Amino acid sequence: MTEKVLIVDDEKGFLDVLAERMQSRGMEVTTATSAKEALQKLEVETFDAIVLDLMMPEMGGIEALQRIKEKNPDSEVILLTGQPSVSKGVEAMKLGASDFLIKPADINELTEKIKLAKAHRMILVEKKTAKKMKDILRTKGW
């Protein structure tokens, strides 16, 4: 099944080529050049994984991650950054990021992480659905 991915990065030259390469690997890719644009897209669409740059003008990746998680705690966010700082990585993971990759990244590694993120999200969704079903069965008393 195709992975639906949102890539967010202010470097358009990076964004376009990465999107093309991921599409050629069978993924359905949407792009955003700012956190604000990404949040707008997330209002109307859901994704299996969100690949988010850490350093972006006006709203950085950490703030965007917080907002995404507030709106939808099940979102799988992979941070991709040129800033190889352990403290930022730890902060991002504490805020709920699924993974953290340093630029320049290997596309196979990124693809693998996206597939894992999708699998993780599906488990979460299935668990939630099962819980909902149980609650319905218990409360309705059929």
Partner 1 sequence: MNIQDAQIGLGGIQFFGKMAASISHEIKNVLAIINENAGLLEDICFMAERGRPIDPARLKKLSGSVKDQIRRADHIMTSMNRFAHSVDEASVSIDVSEVAELLVSLSARFIAMRGVVLAVGKPAGPVAITTFPFALLNLLWLCLDYAMAVVGPGKTIELFAEKTGDGAWFRFGKLEDMAADAAPLFPAERETALGQALHAQILRDPVASEIRVFLAQSRDA
CB of 51 or CB of 75, closer to partner 1:
51
The C-alpha atoms of residue 99 and residue 79 are separated, in whole angstroms, by 6
Q: How far is the CB of 54 from partner 1 (least distance, A)?
A: 9
Q: How far is the CB of 21 from partner 1 (least distance, A)?
A: 6
The C-alpha atoms of residue 137 and residue 130 are separated, in whole angstroms, by 11
CB of 79 or CB of 121, closer to partner 1:
79
Q: How far is the CB of 128 from partner 1 (least distance, A)?
A: 35
CB of 102 or CB of 124, closer to partner 1:
102
Binding site for partner 1 (CB under 8 A): 11, 13-14, 17-18, 20-21, 24, 55-58, 60, 82-84, 102-105, 107
CA distances from 43 to 36, 75, 99, 100, 104 (A): 11, 12, 23, 24, 30
DSSP 50-92: EEEES--SSS-HHHHHHHHHHH-TT--EEEEES---HHHHHHH
Q: How far is the CB of 40 from partner 1 (least distance, A)?
A: 17
CB of 107 or CB of 137, closer to partner 1:
107
List the end-to-end C-alpha distance of the chain, in Å, as a whole number.
Answer: 35
